[in-house]
Amino acid sequence: MEDKREFEEFKKSELVADFARNFDVKKNEANQMIDFMFKKLEKALIDGKTFTQRSFGRFTPIFRERRKAMNVARKTEVDIPSKYAPVLRFSKTLRDKVKDAANERSW
């Protein structure tokens, strides 16, 4: 059974506007603060560090081993090299909140 629900998109511009309004700063300053936060998070992941926000989740760089895959169009085996990939594991608290909100809505 295919899920055909429509979800609204929460854009960065909305986050910036909310941040500016909540902390009584200009939108430009709020945008710089948010960009700074994401750049620090990006740098931490690049440096191999884990970032945890207890009520939200954990960002972790993980190592993916080299593996073989199949190109079904050409019916050939493809070698996928090993690499590091960023992973976000949401906290149980957030997962439960989303699940409970979804159960209350009539999608």
Mean pLDDT per block of 10 residues along the chain (107 residues) reads: 71 96 97 97 95 95 95 94 96 94 75
- Judged on CB neighbours under 10 Å (0-12, 13-18, 19+), 68 is exposed
Residue 84, φ and ψ in degrees, nearest 5:
-100, 140
Strands 67-71, 57-64: parallel, antiparallel or unpaired by DSSP? unpaired
pTM value is: 0.75
* Bridge partners (DSSP) listed for residue 57: 53, 90
Residue 15, amino acid: L
The chain-wide mean pLDDT, for the chain, equals 92
CA quadruple 33, 35, 37, 41: dihedral, nearest 10: -170
